[in-house]
Amino acid sequence: MNEEKETERSRVATESPHKGKTGLARVWSAWFHSLDGLRAAFRHEDAFRQEVLLAAILIPAAFLLHSAGAGRALMVGSVLLVLVVELLNSAVEAAVDRASVESHPLAKRAKDIGSAAVFLSLINVPVVWALVLFG
């Protein structure tokens, strides 16, 4: 019985203090953590800043070009997907660097796979736009 209590105490001690929030308190907290994440990515990630600039140009352009609502949604969605994938890639890179800045094949693999995901999301943008506009 004491072993169960100790295991439970150990588990609770390692969980985030934000895990206990529910309802609007959780939504409110998540909102501010998300804004912090966006600010951190914008401040520390050159690629994210470049992709935000791309989004600032392409998203308004999607509304100016003649396409149906579904086409516009696909065009905007493809651009937003790049930002989402870049955020995830940046998070992986930060976690890998936090674990160790030493060169390791698994760290390289993780970073390369994240980079490949960003690359594919970037390729997706012109493909979707071309299909919507010319397909």
Domain with CATH 1.10.287.3610 in the chain: 45-134
Name which of 39, 34, 123 is nearest 82 in CA terms: 123
pLDDT, tens digit (0-9, with 9 covering 90-100), for 21-43: 788 888 999 999 999 999 999 99
> pLDDT tens for residues 81-114?
999 999 999 999 999 999 998 999 999 999 999 9
pLDDT attached to residue 22: 81
pLDDT at residue 11 tops 80 = no
Tokens of 63: 């509304």
The structure tokens 């493909």 sit at 127
Q: Please identify which of the residues 3, 6, 45, 86 carries the catalytic annotation.
A: 86
User: Which token pair is 16?
Assistant: 């985030």
Coil, helix or strand at residue 16:
coil
Q: Is 15 a catalytic residue?
A: no
Element (H, E) at 66: none
Q: Give the architecture-level CATH label for domain 45-134.
A: Orthogonal Bundle (1.10)
Please report which confidence band the pLDDT of residue 12 belongs to, taking 50, 70 and 90 as the band edges. low
